[in-house]
Chain A
Amino acid sequence: KAGVTQTPRYLIKTRGQQVTLSCSPISGHRSVSWYQQTPGQGLQFLFEYFSETQRNKGNFPGRFSGRQFSNSRSEMNVSTLELGDSALYLCASSLDRVGGSPLHFGNGTRLTVT
C-alpha cells in the first residue's frame, strides 16, 4: 500500500508570496492533518481535516489555511509568507479509529522563505 505522498518536496519562496502544498493520504484514510516542524519549536499541529471538514485547528495565524477534497486529498496554503515560515511541513493521515489513531507521515515539504 502506498504511503502518504506530499508534493513538492522542496520550495523556495520570497517574503510576501503565497504557497500551496499538496498531500495524498494512504488509501482508506479519511483523516489528514498537517504539522510544521522547526528546530526551535519542534513538531507543531496546524490543523486536521476529516470528511472535507476542518475538525481541529492549532494555534497558527489565519495566513495558514487548508482544505480537503472528496477523495481525502488535502492542500494547505500559506499566504503572505514570512521568514519564520521556513520549515518542514508534514502531512499525516490516519484511519481515525476509536480508541487511538496512529498518524502516518509523508516525507514532507521543505519550505524556504527568503
Chain B
Amino acid sequence: QKEVEQNSGPLSVPEGAIASLNCTYSDRVSQSFFWYRQYSGKSPELIMSIYSNGDKEDGRFTAQLNKASQYVSLLIRDSQPSDSATYLCAVQTNQAGTALIFGKGTTLSVSS
C-alpha cells in the first residue's frame, strides 16, 4: 500500500515566523513530489514541485527532498496570515501515468 504521511496539525506560527511542513512517503520508486495549498472550500493549488534531492526555492517557499530518507518538506519563510490553509504533499511515481498519491494535509494557522 503506497502511503504519504503528514502531520495533520494544526501547526500554529506567528506572523513573520518560519513554518515547517513535513511529509514522508513509502514507495521508493516515487520520482516527483509536489506541494499543494488548499484554502477552505477551494480546490488545491500547486505551489511547489521538486524532482531531485536537495533544496528548491521559490520566493518565500523552499521545498527539500531526501530520497534516501523518503522525506519531503516545505518551509515557508516570513509567514503571513494569508498562508493559513491546508498544505497537501503529493507523490508521483511516473510509472503509473500522472496519478498522485496525496497525504491528508497539514493545517497551517498564521496569527497576526
Contacts and interface: CB of A to CB of B under 8 A. Distances in A.
Nearest to A104: B46
B92 A42 contact: no
A105 B97 contact: no
B61 interface: no
Contacts, number: 68
A71 interface: no
A72 interface: no
Interface stretch (B9-17, B18-26, B99-107): B99-107
B68 interface: no
Q: Which of B45, B49, B88, B98 has the most CB of A within 10 A?
A: B98
A50 B99 CA distance: 11
A101 B101 contact: no
B98 A48 contact: yes
Chain B interface size, as a band, is: 20 to 34
A96 B36 CA distance: 18
Contact of A56 (B88, B99, B103): B99
A101 B43 contact: no
A101 B42 CA distance: 22
A70 to B, nearest CB: 19
B32 interface: yes
B51 interface: yes
Interface of B: 31-32, 34, 36, 42-46, 49, 51, 88, 90, 92, 94, 96-105
